[in-house]
Amino acid sequence: MSAPLSKFRPAYVVGIGLHRYQHISETPYPVLGLAAVREALADARIEWPAVESVYHGTALLGMASTRVMLRHLGGTGIPMQQVENASASGSTAFRLAAYEVATGVADVALALGVDKPSARPLAGSQTGIRGIEGGRIVPFTHFALLAQKYMDRHGATPEDFARVAVKNHGNGAHNKYAQRQQARSLVDVLNDPPISGPLTRLQCCPVGEGAAAVIVASEDAIARLGIDRRRCVRVLSSAQRTEVVYAESSNFDAELTRQTTAQAIADAGIAPRDLDVIELHDAFTVEEIFYLEAMGIASPGEAPAMLKAGAFDIGGDVAVSPSGGLLAMGHPIGPTGVGQIAEITRQLRGEAGARQHEGAKLGLAHMVGVGAVCVVHVLGETSSFL
């Protein structure tokens, strides 16, 4: 029998750090990762030797990337490992760090994500089972097909999807860590070069490089290290699932999201509409619509109207992708899921500045990954817990 996080002792996010997500460059990856880790340590006001364990979410750096980077913090001999779970690599690293602290294996664990894009083929292309598409269906066409189906079913329009990009680019314009920091109008998004189906370039996330770091600690460690309790955010639940055969097979990510989110929400003891902030896998605009409906934030077919009415804006019913999401903040793969936790922590602390969703108390982070896999976390501000 598997056990939810809530069966164990509380685990808290106590420090966050990022290196800006950016277009791929000649910058060696340790420069990215060390900047994020040092910023997270400074944010928690603790020193590197306090960290007891490292889970490094990375999909594209290659074998054995962690120790050769983190040795430059001064070797302490602690366990370190890479965690590869496609786009959910960072989310999975965070989950493992949270479980390690909650179960008492460690008092302080670091979840890290560092990546640089590469052209390495997916293992799925090497299973010996081929498809008939001949490489013609890449992710943006998968989502273009799902978008067309949604338009046909619900009478939605290309403008409905483009509004997701307008909102998220607007949020990213206030985020110094975002790869894209420019607000865009509906006309900008719609007139951008067409990619596939209704999707234009600005409706597809940039895959660049970057780093994100989150330090997870127990109450014992918070007391022992003198960490500021007011800036700690509790990990209320963690859920991870994989795809099965669904009745509606093509939007498997939405079905997987429905199940995984339901589990995370139930384990956290909340309802979907209690959430104040959501960071979700908006690699393509249409995904935000699909997943908000799958999560129970909007009824089927209703997300576009709620979006248009401002329900998902910062200051709306629930701020969705206040960081800018994958669309604007960017999707460097390994860091993305860890960066979501950093943004939710910033929001729940009330430290998000121009992006602050006032009164944010509960946040949800969601990533899906090729495979397909899904990881969802619910975080809560701590005034009611500590």
Partner 1 sequence: MGDASSEPELSHPDLYASRDGATVELLGMRCAACGYVAFPRQRYGCEKCGATGAALVDVALATGGTLVSYATVHMHQAKNIAAPFVIGEVELDAGPTLRATMVEQNDAGLDVGARVTGRLHPAPAVDGAGAKLELRFARVAS
Interaction with partner 1 in 294-333: which residues (CB under 8 A)?
none
Q: Maximum CA pair distance of the chain?
A: 59
CB 305 within 8 A of CB 271: no
Give yes or no for residue 247 binding partner 1 (CB under 8 A): no
Contact between 250 and 372 (Cβ < 8 Å): no
Q: Which of 63, 249, 354, 384 binds partner 1 (CB under 8 A)?
A: 249
Q: Check binding of 126 to partner 1 (CB under 8 A).
A: no
Report d(CA 133, CA 23) in Å as an integer: 30
With contacts defined by CB under 8 A, name the span among 48-56, 148-156, 287-295, 367-375 that binds partner 1. 148-156
Q: Which of 74, 121, 193, 226 binds partner 1 (CB under 8 A)?
A: 193
- Binding to partner 1 by residue 31, rule CB under 8 A? no
Separation in Å, CA 234 to CA 40, 64, 96, 241, 330: 16, 31, 15, 22, 25
Least distance in angstroms from the C-beta of 303 to partner 1: 19
Q: Which of 134, 176, 354, 359 binds partner 1 (CB under 8 A)?
A: 134
143, 199 contact by CB (below 8 A): yes
Site membership for partner 1, residue 138 (CB under 8 A): yes
Local structure of 386: helix, strand or coil: coil
The helix (H) or strand (E) run that includes residue 214 is strand 209-217
Tokens representing 342?
């950093």
Contact 47, 37 (CB under 8 A): no
Per rule CB under 8 A, is residue 129 in the interface with partner 1?
yes
Q: What does the DSSP 8-state code read for residue 59?
A: S
Tokens 């900047």 — which residue? 35
Choices 31-39, 188-196, 215-223, 325-333 (CB under 8 A): range interacting with partner 1: 188-196
Q: Residues 1, 121, 130, 384: which binds partner 1 (CB under 8 A)?
A: 130
By CB under 8 A, which span of 140-148, 166-174, 325-333, 337-345 interacts with partner 1?
140-148
Report, in Å, the least distance between residue 246 CB and partner 1.
10
Chain contacts with partner 1 (rule: CB under 8 A): 128-138, 141, 144-149, 152, 193-197, 244-245, 249-250
